[in-house]
Amino acid sequence: MPRVDDFLKAIAIAREALPTRDPETIARHAGAEFQALDIGGRITLPFFLTPVYVSYPEGQVAYEDKEAKLSLQEQGVILHYLLGAQDIPLTNQPITYREIPSGEFYYQPFLKRAQVPLVQTFGLNHELFRKAGHKLGGIDAKMGDASLTFRPFSKIPITMILWREDDEFPPDGNILFDGSIKHFLSGEDIAFLAGTVVYKLMALARGL
């Protein structure tokens, strides 16, 4: 299980790498914006529905609202997305987590973090899934019995799919990614990001 020290180390490594990259190129490839300031600059990108600011070259990550906080893991995955972003289009070819490099290695943590909670929370209540999902910016995907596609980052679509229970099978679900995701993020980051979608949905559902 990763510790706080592991997250801090990952962030420190990403911050060391950030100044070696051209910020305008990073922003263009990531679907973000770069604003030059008197000293350094700022990269602005959407994280789900909320703008996030990344100082350049320092790599400090924050919401505009100083009261809102990003977890260490969220800060890390944002920096990794910026560093991994490439000038490549979406493939529009969905893949499962197991088809991602190192996906087999992280598959059980992925199930525990994302797919199992998705089905446990929404498998018997697709309407709640849709209501919470639309609040998170989900777009109907027309797959399974209920499905929505989310964009935690501009170039990272994640599709959540649910199937109803029947006489033979319990409720089920799956999570699909665009084939291009393996060029942007590691398997560990992808598992965390998928889990973040699910836990944001769960939090929204509690208020509905």
In this structure, are residues 27 and 43 in contact, taking their beta carbons and an 8 Å threshold? yes
pLDDT digits (tens, 9 = 90+) for 103-156: 998 999 999 999 999 999 999 999 999 999 999 999 999 999 999 999 999 999
All domains of the chain, ordered by start, with CATH?
Answer: 4-84 (no CATH), 94-206 (3.30.310)
Q: Check residue 73 and give its pLDDT.
A: 95
- Taking the C-alpha atoms of residue 86 and residue 126, their distance in angstroms, rounded to an integer, is 35
- On the question of pLDDT at 1 being above 60, the answer is no
Q: What is the rounded average pLDDT of the residues 28-36?
A: 96
- Taking the C-alpha atoms of residue 142 and residue 125, their distance in angstroms, rounded to an integer, is 17
Look-up: residue for tokens 């910020």? 23
- Taking the C-alpha atoms of residue 183 and residue 153, their distance in angstroms, rounded to an integer, is 14
Report residue 64's pLDDT band, with 50, 70 and 90 as the boundaries: confident
- Taking the C-alpha atoms of residue 68 and residue 78, their distance in angstroms, rounded to an integer, is 16
Q: What is the pTM of this model?
A: 0.94
Report residue 37's pLDDT band, with 50, 70 and 90 as the boundaries: very high
In this structure, are residues 18 and 56 in contact, taking their beta carbons and an 8 Å threshold? yes
- Taking the C-alpha atoms of residue 187 and residue 106, their distance in angstroms, rounded to an integer, is 7
Cis status of the peptide bond prior to 57, with omega within 30 of 0: yes
Measured from the Cβ of residue 204, the count of other Cβ atoms closer than 10 Å reads: 16
Report residue 197's pLDDT band, with 50, 70 and 90 as the boundaries: very high
